[in-house]
Structure 1
Amino acid sequence: MEETNYIRKYTGIRTDTSNNPRPTGTASGVKPSTEEALQEPPLTESYYPHRKTYYDKLKLFQISDLHKPNELKGMMSRPLIFLTFPVIFYSGFSYGSNLVWFNVLNATASVILNGTYGFSASIVGVCYISPLLGVAVGAAYTGWFGDAFIVRKARKNNGIMESEHRLWLFIPSLVLIPSGLILWGVGSAHHVHWFGPVFAMGVIAMTNTVGLQLSVAYCIDSYRALSGEAIITVILVRNTMSFAIGYGITPWVEDMGLQNCFITAAFVGLAQVCTVFVMIKYGKGLRETSVSRYEGYVDEMAKSGMVH
């Protein structure tokens, strides 16, 4: 894909023989004087890259590609280095901790819906209409309502939008995550009507969607120029947590039983959501302390062609 591989060598500023950059034309808003124009070297054919022929574009290998620097090392190391940015790490933790509960739901769906309520495999599948509706509600909440909420918060803050404003949208999760987990696990342990666990599936799916979207948006709002590789860091943290719970949920339920397991899960989920208040209070300060590092990595990625 030529356009995404294109190396931009010119930035619209022509330099003279003394290596002093001079703005040309009116792009900078300043028109050069006649004397300055005469001192600048004329443009030559070598200034412009040669247009590729149709045959050149069909080549499997381009000679110019052999002279490009190898950026693989930086692309592999930066997502790991970004773990040291508290906001990026927290975004991954927040994403992963919300996804964990939906993984718990998936891992116990057959045990509860089939084992407790006697649903067939096809009916268990039909029950996933509830999470589908929950995802739609969560998307509308973080999308339509969330955007309006952010604008309102920015207006109250003298027209300045701060990344932490978005974190206030986690407030409903303080109630929804614990209640959804208790209704799902404890309700099933006490054989409540099947509508209770099915409704809980929708609640857990909704909180998962809210956590996913808010966590990613918080990361991008904080480090927009690094968002491409910062999201890789977020995914690394998320996948590590998701991988771990896949191994832990079965012995957790078997050793503690549905009731005690999900009471514990509800308090863990509540504690996890409460960490948002730490970032609401200290997130801006943490971002300010990382400004110089942020600018350094933006420059590094710009030189490698990763930021345009």
Structure 2
Amino acid sequence: MSPSGIASTFLSKILFTFPTVAYAAITYGLLLAWFAVISSAASYFMLNPPYSVNSSSLGLFMISALIGAILGAIVGATLNDQSILWLARRNGSIFEPEMRLWMGLPGSRVATAGVLTFGLGLLRTLPWVVLAVRYAIFGFGFSVTGDIALTYLTDCYPEILGDVLVWVVFIRNGLSVLIMSIYTPWISSFGIQNTFICAAIISLAMTIMPIGLLIWGKRARERTAPKYRDLLFGNLFSEV
């Protein structure tokens, strides 16, 4: 994208009116923020008693999230494809982007459960193996939920994907930086338990948004169709 294209994208507020863009950006922002929160909490508490692990062991511990993410990508992709085929057959063999969101519901719940149970596990100083499993659960939910959000965005606005991803990355990074900037005073003031309970409550937004889009997503796409066409033709003319 040229500098002028980037400037016009940021100057235009049109993409803020696309619920799909907001859903993808907020979902990815929260996922990255909780990943950073869990990693920071693990780095601090597990290097001190009663765990007292060294940096190498801590690095190996972090692999559990990667294992969960890989399993989430495999299982999530398989179940997502099967569910879409089943839903499309029930819809007269017509595919609609909102069909992908059904897998986002359990995925976001798994990610939220991973955040909450990991924090409570740290509070109760559970064995590191239990914490690793809970971290892997979060990684599983991260992979499934993030993939659904971006795939849904791609299905809705494939021709202007570059423009919408600019906003997704911008909002995602801003949201994750905001949460991490208040993490230290947050955990110092409220403690581990209340901090992770608050994080889980905020994370429920990832569950609520797909429900709203399942109900009103198609109508939202219809309302934003004129703006979508304007942005699409503007991009096409700028390339000529």
TM-score (norm 2): 0.91
Counterpart for residue 113 of structure 1? 46
Query: How many residue pairs align between the two structures?
Result: 237
- Consecutive unaligned residues of structure 1, counting only runs of 5 or more, are 5-70
Matching residue's letter, 1:85: F
**Whole-angstrom CA distance in 2 between matches of 1:168 and 1:251:** 36
5+ long unaligned stretches in structure 2? none
- Is 1:78 equivalent to 2:9 in the alignment? yes
- Quote the residue 1:293 is aligned against: 227
For residues 161 and 100 of structure 1, the distance between their equivalents in structure 2, rounded to whole angstroms, comes to: 32
Alignment-mate amino acid for residue 183 of structure 1? T
RMSD after superposition: 1.9
Q: Are the equivalent residues in 1 in contact too, given 2:110–2:138 (CA < 8 A)?
A: yes
Distance in 2, matches of 1:179 and 1:72, equals 42
Helix, strand or coil: the match of 1:158? coil
Partner of 2:26: 93
Is structure 2 residue 235 aligned with structure 1 residue 304?
Answer: no
Contact 1:139 1:209 in 2 (8 A): yes
Give the alignment of 1:1-308 within 5 angstroms: 72-79=3-10, 80-81=12-13, 82-115=15-48, 116-305=50-239
Contact map agreement 1:101 1:208 (CA 8 A) in 2: no
* Aligned-partner SS, 1:114: coil
Q: Which range moved further: 187-196 or 171-180?
A: 171-180
The offset of 1:86, in angstroms, is: 2.0
Question: After the TM superposition, which segments of 4 or more aligned residues of structure 1 sit over 3 Å from their partners?
Answer: none
Q: Please tell me whether Structure 1 or Structure 2 has the larger radius of gyration of its CA atoms.
A: 1
Residue pair 2:24, 2:168 contacting (<8 A) in 1 also: yes
Post-superposition Cα deviations, 1:159-186, rounded to whole Å, max 9, x if no partner, equal: 1111111111122235423321222111
Instruction: Give the drift of 1:117.
Output: 1.4
Work out the CA distance in 1 between the residues paired with 2:232 and 2:193: 49
**Counterpart in 2 of 1:27?**
none
Contact 1:95 1:212 in 2 (8 A): yes
Separation in 2 of the partners of 1:136 and 1:174? 16
Task: Please state which structure has a larger fraction of its residues in helix.
Answer: 2
What's the counterpart of residue 65 of structure 1? none
Secondary structure, in 3 states, of the residue corresponding to 2:170? helix
Letter in 2 for 1:237: I
Q: Which amino acid aligns with 1:227?
A: L
Task: Provide the identity percentage.
Answer: 28
Work out whether residues 183 and 196 of structure 1, in 8 Å CA contact, stay in contact via their aligned partners in 2. no
Return the alpha-carbon distance in structure 2 between the equivalents of residues 214 and 149 of structure 1: 13
The answer to whether the 8 A contact 1:98-1:207 is kept is no
Query: Residue 181 of structure 1 contacts residue 266 of structure 1 at CA under 8 Å; is this kept in 2?
Result: yes
Q: Report the counterpart of residue 17 of structure 1 in structure 2.
A: none
Q: How far did residue 154 of structure 1 move? A: 1.4
